[in-house]
Amino acid sequence: MPEIKFYKHEPIPMEMHKVKIVQQLSLLPADERLKKMYDASFNTFQLHNGDIFMDMLTDSGVNAMSDQMQSAMLRADDAYAGSETFYRMRDKLEEIFGIKYCLPAHQGRACENILASTFVKPGKCVIMNYHFTTAKAHITRLGGHVEELVKAEGLIPVSDLPFKGDIDIDAVEACIDRETPENIAFMRIESGTNLIGGQPISYKSMKEATDVAKKYGIVSVLDASLLQDNLYFIKTREESMKDKTVREITRMIADLFDIVYFSARKFGFARGGAILVRDEAMFHSMEDYITMFEGFLTYGGMSVKEMEAMTVGFDESMDMDVISQGPQFIKYTVDRLHEAGIPVITPGGGLGAHLNATEFVSHIPQEQYPSGALVCALYLCGGIRGMERGTLSEERTPDGSEHFASMELVRLALPRRVFTLSQVEYVIDRVKWVYDHRDMIGGLRFTHEPKTLRFFTGKLEPVSDWPEKLVAAFKADFGEDQ
């Protein structure tokens, strides 16, 4: 989008849409938030949405639909088999990605289940630039293991590196030599590394990685769930791509891969997903899993109304005015926090702004889940629901010890077309207050710990009465009703 210039105002990101439908929000007083936090066992996933003022947990399935997306839902074809809605979706995906075969699935982790079930056997290795929680869980569930080979500089919290998601090609070659090509189930490239701050990967790095995969006969898979943000960064940060259109860049990326899958809860602004497969035999090797786990091959567990909406959403994801708002709001948030001396991941990536909990609450040991504690503190002091992206999101090693995360982050997601800049300013203000009172925040410990994906349903408690003390300090500054 063109940069909007102001006459007598500092540059700010501009919404390229107008609001037509609104949803009422409420801000509970701090004492009530404290009670709700205990009711939720100090897990923000367990909070009721009605108890939240700013829901920045995720951008998955909560992006705002456009008027065109909502109107498209009225034409949905409810047929169980052979729905015309599916064919419209499939054809649009082929138009954009140039891949003929499409397997619908109800969301991204369903795609990951099917891919893992098809390719992963005990002892098999999956190469990634960086893992995502559900992708890794499906692989390890089947006895496989993951090799994360993002470049080392991608894990440096503060830098000006434009593509922190780039994969280390020398490490890829060494891994293939060590594991042997036959033992590599597939290579998965995440276009926007969720767990290290939504940081993008360059087209150059994707091409280098897939060239290696082709050399050794390894299946290459693109996780395109965060592709829209990654497209923005490639176009604006990668010099060789600045004259390309978003559609041209998308096709160039897709042409590198054997398989593309995505969660449409992110890419497409609706609730669903799909696997796009280039090879017919490979397509047939996976289709039985759709009918077994998802539904018929022309709906795949999705609502056809959502499928019609996401078909329009795919087109909107090719529009620079649409895909630029998220990264611009994130950059604004990250820059304001960084200027205030608050530890954040820079440069701003996709999906959301990421606080560096390792430095923010440096006094909390990793075994007491500093990211989890900080995300709870933000709710207590602002009604803001973020997401823990650190050790709490990892799984224990086979011997029961903690697998400490490479980075301890709190993600403040910015769902597309949802928040206004004044709401973003509120979040920035409350983060500043929490940072100034950070020494009051203590750790957490499990009272109920699921074996898999524990961050979703686990229950925790504070290691001391720090929540009560933090809320008391907040009330002293803001009063009883904030």
Mind telling me the catalytic residues?
80, 132-133, 223, 266, 389, 455
Q: What are the helix (H) ranges across 300-405?
A: 304-316, 320-323, 325-339, 357-360, 370-380
Q: Burial level of 366, CB count in 10 A (0-12/13-18/19+)?
A: middle
Q: How many residues does the chain have?
A: 482
Q: How many CB atoms lie within 10 A of CB 434?
A: 23
Reading the block at residue 42, the tokens are 């100090």
> How would you classify the pairing of strands 409-413 and 352-356?
antiparallel
Measured over the CA atoms of residue 168, residue 217, residue 186 and residue 257, the dihedral's sign is positive
Within 8 A by CB and 6+ apart from 120, the residues are 126, 138, 139, 142, 143, 144, 185
Phi, psi of 54 (to 5 degrees): -120, 105
- Residue 324 identity: S
- Residue 74 identity: L
Residue 450 in contact with residue 396, Cβ under 8 Å?
A: no
Nearest Cα residue to 185 out of 225, 131, 147: 147
> How would you classify the pairing of strands 184-190 and 125-128?
parallel
Does residue 162 have a cis bond before it (omega within 30 degrees)? no
- Residue 471 identity: V
Residue 42 in contact with residue 460, Cβ under 8 Å?
A: yes
Please tell me the distance from the alpha carbon of residue 388 to that of residue 411, in angstroms, as a whole number: 6
Q: Burial level of 423, CB count in 10 A (0-12/13-18/19+)?
A: middle
SS3 242: coil
**Cα-to-chain-centroid distance, residue 286:** 25
Q: How many CB atoms lie within 10 A of CB 408?
A: 29
Residue 272 in contact with residue 89, Cβ under 8 Å?
A: no
> Phi-psi bin for 362: left (phi > 0), alpha (psi -120 to 50), beta?
alpha
Name the packing angle between helices 227-237 and 325-339 (round to 10°). 70
Output the CA angle 437-439-444, nearest 5 degrees. Answer: 110
Please tell me the distance from the alpha carbon of residue 141 to that of residue 145, in angstroms, as a whole number: 9
